[in-house]
């Protein structure tokens, strides 16, 4: 049986991960660390199987590459592939679902506790030798509170949202949620309107996809409804929170702080208003890494290998 041609178009998006070259057992593998938009066709041409995280695979690519039979998305989200046209062309498209749940949950709470416990302030206090110069064994410069007893609001009660709820509950928080899609309603947690979630909850974290109904879901008017000490975490998608409005709200101290792992444009422009807030200690931004624990990326690679193996077994 002829070995299929396999090309990974943007391997840099996975970083160093075990299992990448196990793909060589399945076919003739070519790996590109990244692929510019204008080089997509030449790199896909003649291959049967492609792997892509963010490279756009659209009608233009599919029409120009008649040997293409399987598109493996190195992610859960499938918005970089024209799924309808792939179906028309008889091209199979496979993603990997659920691989990053535990990583995203852990990162969400890492961001929350960093902000909630004023970790930046206390770390600076020690490293700037202020603690060494103190007469006390402790320091109470920035008060912090416990998660136990707080109201934790979740926007998006899918697989990740439910794990967030379970962890928040384990810490003693009372869980509320808002469903933008009106799905996943039988959860055992208290479902409320968006307005009630915003006004009642001490912490709000976002774990829903970016859709027409969630774009700019959280803007200035919504942020005004939140408690003054409330914390907002976005581990869903950039674009759900309006970044200019969030910067405005932080500058006016409308909320206690925010943690973002996702931005509208990634990487962001230096002109992004979030880089110029007057109280940067109230804002934590990480470079879209919530999904990317070592274990998560290994599970993703295992899922890609399994998808290719299943396809080949049917040939």
User: Does the annotation count 40 as an active-site position?
Assistant: no
C-alpha distances in Å from residue 296, one per residue of 84, 86, 138: 29, 27, 38
- Which one of the listed residues 60, 221, 266, 295 is annotated catalytic? 266
Whole-angstrom distance, CA of residue 143 vs CA of residue 179: 33
| Strand, coil or helix: 203 | strand
Answer yes or no: are the C-beta atoms of 305 and 22 closer than 8 Å. Answer: yes
Query: What are the structure tokens assigned to 298, written together?
Result: 């290994």
Beta-bridge partners for 178: 155
- Which one of the listed residues 163, 288, 298, 302 is annotated catalytic? 288
Answer yes or no: are the C-beta atoms of 176 and 204 closer than 8 Å. Answer: no
Which residues does 38 contact at the CB level (< 8 Å), separation at least 6?
none
Whole-angstrom distance, CA of residue 145 vs CA of residue 179: 28
- Which one of the listed residues 40, 43, 237, 299 is annotated catalytic? 237
Helix axes 119-127, 101-116, angle to 10 degrees: 60
* Residue keyed to tokens 């008649």: 66
Sign of CA dihedral 119, 250, 161, 207: negative
User: Does the annotation count 266 as an active-site position?
Assistant: yes
The pair phi, psi for residue 240, each rounded to 5°, is -75, -40
Q: Which of the 8 DSSP states describes residue 3?
A: P
Beta-bridge partners for 260: 234, 285
User: Does the annotation count 243 as an active-site position?
Assistant: no
Answer yes or no: are the C-beta atoms of 213 and 239 closer than 8 Å. Answer: no
Compute and round to an integer the Cα radius of gyration of the chain. Answer: 22
Catalytic positions are 237, 266, 288
């Amino acid at each position: 049986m002829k070995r299929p041609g396999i090309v990974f178009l943007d391997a840099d998006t996975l970083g160093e991960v075990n299992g990448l070259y196990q793909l060589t057992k399945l076919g003739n593998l070519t790996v590109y660390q990244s692929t510019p938009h204008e080089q997509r066709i030449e790199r896909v041409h003649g291959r049967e199987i492609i792997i892509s995280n963010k490279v756009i695979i659209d009608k233009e690519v599919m029409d120009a590459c008649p040997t293409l039979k399987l598109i493996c998305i190195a992610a859960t989200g499938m918005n970089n592939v024209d799924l309808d046209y792939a179906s028309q062309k008889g091209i199979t498209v496979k993603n990997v679902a659920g691989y990053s749940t535990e990583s995203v949950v852990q990162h969400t709470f890492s961001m929350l506790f960093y902000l909630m416990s004023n970790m930046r302030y206390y770390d600076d206090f020690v490293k700037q030798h202020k603690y060494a110069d103190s007469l006390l064994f402790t320091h109470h410069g920035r008060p912090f509170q416990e998660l136990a007893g707080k109201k934790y609001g979740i926007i998006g009660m899918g697989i990740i949202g439910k794990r967030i709820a379970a962890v928040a509950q384990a810490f003693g928080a009372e869980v509320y949620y808002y469903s933008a899609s009106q799905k996943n309603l039988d959860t055992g947690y208290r479902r409320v309107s968006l307005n009630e979630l915003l006004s009642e909850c001490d912490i709000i974290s976002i774990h829903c996809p970016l859709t027409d109904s969630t774009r700019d879901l959280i803007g200035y008017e919504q942020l005004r409804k939140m408690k003054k000490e409330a914390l907002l975490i976005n581990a869903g998608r950039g674009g759900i929170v309006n970044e200019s409005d969030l910067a405005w709200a932080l500058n006016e101290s409308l909320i206690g702080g925010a943690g973002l792992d996702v931005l509208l444009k990634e990487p962001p422009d230096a002109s992004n208003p979030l880089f110029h807030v007057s109280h940067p200690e109230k804002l934590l931004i990480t470079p879209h890494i919530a999904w990317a624990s070592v274990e998560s990326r290994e599970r993703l690679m295992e899922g890609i290998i399994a998808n290719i193996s299943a396809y080949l077994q049917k040939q």
